[in-house]
Structure 1
């Protein structure tokens, strides 16, 4: 059985036991959109949660490391919001 979560409003299918990052990559989504330019910056890099590059926003919850977090039905995810000075 598989399910779907939503990335920036777009449904993304996942397989049983799959992480958010694995499902996004399988769907062809590699840019996790870190608009603040923070390095390593919005991509699944290490795959073990050490680099923090895959952190994504979760609606109504704290951000998560997508490479470590199991995909769940109905999650609403997106890029982290831009932070810091100079953003309008």
Structure 2
């Protein structure tokens, strides 16, 4: 059985132990959609130092996608969070 989280309402499959960033990159999603006036919006350093990969989590604080393990059912989106309307 494949596990999924949701990126801006769309399902993204992930493997056990994979980070959010790794799953997004494997799915071909390199642009994390940061607002144009905010630096970042993609995975850059991969170790959480640059915070360019910060994403919004529905119902929780933003996280660094490169450090955060993917979990079934997470609802994620670019900042500001635009995915709240998706179930």
- Same fold, judged at TM 0.5 (above): yes
Deviations 1:34-84 (A, max 9, x none): 114211x100000000000000000000000000000000000000118xx
**Alignment: residue pair count:** 81
Q: Secondary structure at the match of 1:62?
A: strand
Question: Does structure 2 retain, via aligned residues, the 8 Å contact 1:2–1:16?
Answer: no
Write the distance in 1 (CA, Å) between the matches of 2:75 and 2:36.
Answer: 21
Q: CA RMSD in A?
A: 1.4
Question: Please, what TM-score do these two structures have when normalized by structure 1?
Answer: 0.87
Greater C-alpha Rg:
1
Equivalent in the alignment of 2:78: 79
Question: Please, what TM-score do these two structures have when normalized by structure 2?
Answer: 0.88
Correspondence list, 1:5-24, <5 A? 5-24=5-24
Gaps of 5+ in 1: 83-88
Write the distance in 2 (CA, Å) between the matches of 1:38 and 1:57.
Answer: 14
Gaps of 5+ in 2: 82-87
Runs of 4+ with >4 A deviation: none
